[in-house]
Amino acid sequence: MAAAATCGAGAGSLRSVAAAAAVDRSSATSFQRKGPRAGDADGRGPRLVSIAGTRPSVRNGQLLVSTGLPALDQLLGGGVAVGTVLLIEEDKYCTYAPLLLKCFLAEGVVCGHPLLLASAREPPARLVQELPAPLLDGSYKKELDQDGCSHPAADAKVQMKIAWRYQLLPRKEVGPVSSRFGHYYDISKKMPQELLETAQWHGFFLPEKMSSPPTAEPCHLTHGYSKLLEFIKKIISEEGVDGSNPQKKQKNILRIGIQSLGSPLWGDDVCCAETCEHSHSLTKFLYVLRGLVRASLSACVVTVPTHLIQNKAITARVTNLSDTVVALESFVGLQREINPLYKDYHGLIHIRQIPRLNNLICDESDVKDLAFKLKRKLFTIEDSEE
Amino acid sequence: MFPELNNLLDTTPDKAEQGKLTLLCDARTDGSFLVHHFLSFYLKANCKVCFVALVQSFSHYSIVGQKLGVNLTMARECGQLVFLEALKTSLDVFFQKPAEPHPLQFLREASAENLQPLFAFVREALKPGDDGEATWKYPVLLVDDLSVLLSLGVRAVTVLDFIHYCRAAVCVEWKGNVVALVHDSRDTEDEENDLLLSGLSHQSHLILRAEGLATGFCKDVHGDRSLTYQYKIQDKTVSFFAKGLSPAVL
């Protein structure tokens, strides 16, 4: 990945990270730090730096971050790869897509990753206040039992083990709340204020940034998109995730979340008419966004109301320009809602595309019929055949 | 490169045909494994390769290349491979106006009139050396992929013109080869893409199609003969077998 190159360690570094991590994870019963991590005063170089909230992919050593939904992580081959863009095709009434975005951002808060939130609809500050509360230290298992869900027992046991180990480590005042990969979130509760205060986030609210009158736009993107790209570039370099300042501080992953890209609120008419004036704005934006994300230690989740895009060709192009694509289809207001097969579920989730990064093959899940349900507190994904 | 694919196409790096345009086409699946095949094939054949990589980063191809037995970094250093990493260089073009014509200049225009700067880049990369000494066998242009140009505001006719110019220079003048990947968008009513695909199909000597099926994969090879094989991608190679003879079925 280009990200590895900017770390200054070359293509082999990801494999060495994988090797180091494999050694740690294989000894699950004696999960101990081997010694001071590089990046401390040891000064042995950034070769084995492990960033909180990330893990290497089993398949190709690619660095992954969690989406905030462990079930979704599993379906995507372990998580979202750093340097890639995950596109979420919104469900019709945009009920569940914002939830996925919030889980992704909440995961960033819990892992201590800086966030970049962009929205044309609501102020990012409000979005941050609405992030779900994490279920830490195994309390999620109680939630699952209460809801009577058939969560695979094996998974639960493994995660309980790791959670228990972390209970023994002293709580740090500054730093990620939990170094575990992937957490469960209680959708009915808001994230506690003390946790939110530790979060570093940068917001982009379109109405605020549009104060300067639009001049002739370079590259002919809509004004909103150009401003957003410039903002993202600025934050990437501020946070140092583009490797521009290797001595600066502990390496971290920037999580970028963009809400409802392509909707008319962004000044784009791709959802309004079949032949639109800015027909290439959205696709150009995604291309440059992917370039920015590839060249830095960031992971991006974008939600797009593809059901509103009139021109199917543009939807296909948007899909091709993203690395991972997940589509949500909710049953709200549909006849199918009363279909006995789907009566327990709130909608279907389709994994449309998984990237083949640094590899000829990708981790395609064998199960294609997946349904999701929003229980009282948890968002779960299950094989709808069972 | 995949030995089985070489057998099917009846070629080896030593005796590949020259002056040909090969079209790689994928429908409902990811045909990039074919790009990896041809990249390693031509590097092993000791050709000078110009790779216009519009969708992935250098390290991606490099890591897969290592599995297929070629070292892209070394090839780039010794001049055998000229690599245009569009994802990275597009940022330079996009955020500030370049001082001189840049191959990705079309990004700055609403609807690019022509891809002249990109062609100039390819020409510069592949023209035979003036010293008369033949270090490399023949030049090869590889593009991954052309459909993304349509997403960036370039019209299908402009892309067809660009490929025509490349063919005139690389295939006819310098007796090299051109390989390009295009997505097949039958299901998605992408008229521009259909135009591009049919225009290129008409010009090319060999068309390799990768088609996705629900449970397996299928590949059609159109050349002198029309053959259909099924393929399965593994970690380091791709295995091909005639329809119905997949290990899963037997």
Domains and CATH numbers, chain A: 66-134+182-383 (3.40.50.300)
Does residue B1 or residue B117 have the better pLDDT?
Answer: B117
Q: Which helix (H) or strand (E) holds A122?
A: none
CATH number at B149 reads 3.40.50.300
Least confidently predicted of A244-248, B13-17, B143-147: A244-248
Q: Tell me if B220 is assigned to some domain.
A: no
Decide if pLDDT at A77 tops 80.
Answer: yes
Does residue A98 or residue A278 have the better pLDDT?
Answer: A98
What average pLDDT does the segment B132-151 reach?
86
Decide if pLDDT at A377 tops 90.
Answer: no
B-chain residues near A274 (CB < 8 A): none
Q: Which of A18, A356, A47 is nearest to B64 (CA)?
A: A356
Decide if pLDDT at B57 tops 70.
Answer: yes
Name the band, by pLDDT with cuts 50, 70 and 90, for residue A272: confident
- Give the 3-state secondary structure of residue B209: strand
Q: Percent of chain A scored above 70 by pLDDT?
A: 68
Residue from B67, B83, B87 whose CB has the most chain A CBs within 10 Å, to mutate: B87
Closest-CA distance of chain B to residue A283, Å: 6
List the single residue in B151, B235, B236 with the smallest CB-CB distance to A283: B151
Name the band, by pLDDT with cuts 50, 70 and 90, for residue B232: confident
Q: How many domains does chain B have?
A: 1
Q: Tell me if B241 is assigned to some domain.
A: no
Strands B217-222 and B48-53: unpaired
Q: How far is CA B91 from CA A201, A255, B108, B143, B195, in A?
A: 24, 19, 11, 19, 29
Decide if pLDDT at A365 tops 50.
Answer: yes
B-chain residues near A287 (CB < 8 A): 90, 148, 151-152
Q: Which of A61, A166, A161, A152 is nearest to A110 (CA)?
A: A166
Decide if pLDDT at A158 tops 50.
Answer: no
Name the band, by pLDDT with cuts 50, 70 and 90, for residue A49: low
For residue range A126-154, list pLDDT tens digits in order: 999 999 998 876 565 555 555 444 444 43
Interface membership of B69 toward A (CB under 8 Å): no
Parent domain of B14: 3-209
Cross-chain residue pair B153–A284, CB shorter than 8 Å? yes
Decide if pLDDT at A300 tops 90.
Answer: yes
Q: Tell me if B168 is assigned to some domain.
A: yes
- Tell which phi-psi region holds residue B183, choosing left (phi > 0), alpha (psi between -120 and 50) or beta: beta
Least confidently predicted of A349-358, A359-368, B73-82, B108-117: A359-368
Decide if pLDDT at A261 tops 90.
Answer: yes
- Give the 3-state secondary structure of residue A205: strand
Question: Is residue B181 within 8 Å of residue B26, measured between CB atoms?
Answer: yes
Amino acid identity, residue A36? P
Least confidently predicted of A64-73, A320-329, B108-117: B108-117
The pLDDT assigned to A364 comes to 62
A-chain residues near B95 (CB < 8 A): 229-230, 233
Q: Which long-range contacts (CB under 8 A, 24 or more apart) does B219-228 make?
A: B221/B8, B221/B9, B223/B9, B227/B8
Task: Tell me whether the omega of the peptide bond preceding residue B145 falls within 30 degrees of 0, making it cis.
Answer: yes
Does residue B53 or residue B237 have the better pLDDT?
Answer: B53
List the single residue in B107, B193, B235 with the smallest CB-CB distance to A284: B107
Decide if pLDDT at B119 tops 70.
Answer: yes
Cross-chain residue pair B189–A361, CB shorter than 8 Å? no
The pLDDT assigned to A214 comes to 59
The pLDDT assigned to A368 comes to 60
What average pLDDT does the segment A94-119 reach?
93
Q: Tell me if B70 is assigned to some domain.
A: yes
Does residue B48 or residue B15 have the better pLDDT?
Answer: B48
List the single residue in B57, B94, B185 with the smallest CB-CB distance to A316: B185
Q: Tell me if B12 is assigned to some domain.
A: yes
Decide if pLDDT at B43 tops 80.
Answer: yes
Closest-CA distance of chain A to residue B170, Å: 28
ipTM comes to 0.89
Q: Tell me if B196 is assigned to some domain.
A: yes
Q: Tell me if B174 is assigned to some domain.
A: yes
B-chain residues near A280 (CB < 8 A): 110-111, 151-153
Q: Which helix (H) or strand (E) holds A273?
A: none
Q: Tell me if B231 is assigned to some domain.
A: no
Strands B177-183 and B206-212: unpaired
Name the band, by pLDDT with cuts 50, 70 and 90, for residue A29: very low
A-chain residues near B188 (CB < 8 A): 312-313, 315-316
- Give the 3-state secondary structure of residue A43: coil
The pLDDT assigned to B6 comes to 84
Decide if pLDDT at A211 tops 90.
Answer: no
Nearest-by-CA chain B residue for A11? B59
Decide if pLDDT at A12 tops 90.
Answer: no
Decide if pLDDT at A73 tops 70.
Answer: yes
Interface membership of A283 toward B (CB under 8 Å): yes
Cβ-based burial of A217 (10 A; exposed 0-12, middle 13-18, buried ≥19):
middle
